[in-house]
Structure 1
Amino acid sequence: MSWLMRCVSLLLLATMAAVSAQTPGVASSAAAPTSDDALYRIGVDDRVQVSVWRNPELSVTVPVRPDGRISVPLVGDVVAGGRAPHEVAADIEKQLATYVRDPKVAVILTELRSHEFISRVRVTGAVRQPVSIPYRQGMTVLDAVLQAGGITEFAAPDRTRLYRKEQGKAETVPVRLGAILRNGDLETNVDVKPGDVITIPERVL
């Protein structure tokens, strides 16, 4: 092969590689990168956006809980921690196929916050203002919820859960937040720890 032909061949290969390159942090199962080693692995407390094509009501932006999972409409809990975005997208597509014809899902990392995980407490769900607040010694579930502005009228406070990861194991602590707020019953008003995530679900209409 002549020197000129060899240069042309190399240029074509480089062009094809550039076209096929994937955008970091965004993936769907239809366009999975070829090398997982070079991908960012989703961490606890990272924030991800799950977009379902033509189904905006199924699209959500959620934090990764201490147990490494996210909650997706219809599907429920999906493991995200330690996985690449395209792997999570493929998993959601597979499970959504029961409800949606030929679903197309994209998982996008919107905030990389796992490195801050150990020093903050998060409150999510049916509260006035979801927050990420610095941990302080002696802080309780009620303290954290009040900093989030309290619960909304759509909340199911007695189904509140505190998610925590200790020694590599995920732990879920039930909290009867309604009893705390209505009756001053402090039995489940537990002290929080750095990295805890408190989730108040909405009631079923």
Structure 2
Amino acid sequence: MARDIEKALGKFIRDPVVTVVVTNFVGPYSEQIRVIGEAARPQTLPYRQKMTLLDVMIAVNGITDFADGNGTTLLRTSEGAKQYSVRIKDLIKRGDVSANVEMKPGDVLIIPRSWF
């Protein structure tokens, strides 16, 4: 890629030197954590070893004011799409570390909107 960019820049700059550094890699779906719904920044995250629910919440900047944090569902695709209830509100608002669960590659976190 760097050589291609150098070649293109060579039309405008004499002897350009280009270095390409990969700063982020999400990877295949089977190695991602997806966060949807009422996260402050819903997104796809690359899975890292020993990643926990708290790590994910920090990466997505927590939940919105309208989120039903304790009504969140963890969809674990590695276990045939088995669903678990997780208590995000207890974890990030009350500091209840018993609500912190380990994430696995392919997990999908679904944060619903609260009705009131």
Q: What TM-score results when the alignment is normalised by the length of structure 1? A: 0.42
| Structure 1 residue 145: Cα displacement | 1.7
- Runs of 4 or more, structure 1, over 6 Å off, are none
Aligned to 1:138, which of 50, 61, 72? 50
Say yes or no: does 1:147 pair with 2:59: yes
CA distance in 2, matches of 1:166, 1:139: 15
| Structure 1 residue 143: Cα displacement | 0.9
Give the match for residue 125 of structure 1: 37
Q: Which has the higher strand share?
A: 1
| Structure 1 residue 161: Cα displacement | 1.1
Give the match for residue 115 of structure 2: 204
| Structure 1 residue 166: Cα displacement | 2.8
- Deviations for 1:44-63, whole angstroms, at most 9, x for unmatched residues? xxxxxxxxxxxxxxxxxxxx
| Structure index of larger Rg | 1
Which residues of 2 match residues 1-40 of structure 1 at below 5 A?
none
Which residues of 2 match residues 46-65 of structure 1 at below 5 A?
none
CA distance in 2, matches of 1:166, 1:130: 21
Gaps of 5+ in 1: 1-114
Q: Is the 8 A contact 1:141 1:198 kept in 2?
A: no
Q: Work out the percentage of aligned pairs sharing the same amino acid.
A: 38
Please, what is the CA RMSD of the aligned residues?
Answer: 1.5
Q: What TM-score results when the alignment is normalised by the length of structure 2? A: 0.71
CA distance in 1, matches of 2:71, 2:102: 18
Gaps of 5+ in 2: 1-26
Give the match for residue 75 of structure 2: 163
| Structure 1 residue 182: Cα displacement | 2.1
How many residue pairs are counted as aligned between the two chains? 90
Where relative contact order (Cα < 8 A, 6+ residues apart) is larger, the structure is 2
